[in-house]
Structure 1
Amino acid sequence: MPIISATYYTSYLHNNNLETQTLLAHPEIKQHGTFISFKSHHNHKVVGTIQLNNQHFSFHHYNYGQQKQQKIDLTHFNCHIKGYFHTSKANDVVVIVKQIDVKSCHKDTTKLPNIFNTHKNFIYHQMEKYGGKEYGRVLALLFGDVHLLSVDQLEDVKRIGIYHLLAVSGSHIVSIIIIIQMTCTALRIPIPVIKCLLCIALPCYAFYVDFVPSALRAIISALLIILLPRKILQHPIDILATTFLIVLLLFPAYIYDIGFQFSFLITLF
Structure 2
Amino acid sequence: MKPQKNYREMGCRECLGGAGLHFDFSMAFQPIVSLSRREVFAYEALARGPAGEPAAEVFKHVDESTRYRFDQACRVKAIELASRLKMPTYLSINFMPNAVYRPELCIRTTLEAAETYGFPIDRIVFEITEGEQVDDRAHLRDIVRHYQKRGFLTAIDDFGAGYSGLNLLADVRTDLVKLDMALVRNVHEDAGRRAIIRGVSLMCADLGMKLIAEGVETREELACLAGLGIDLFQGYLLARPAFQALPVVHWGD
Relative to the length of structure 2, the TM-score reads: 0.30
Larger relative contact order (CA 8 Å, sep ≥ 6): 2
Relative to the length of structure 1, the TM-score reads: 0.29
Larger radius of gyration: 1
Looking at secondary structure, tell me which structure has more helix per residue.
1
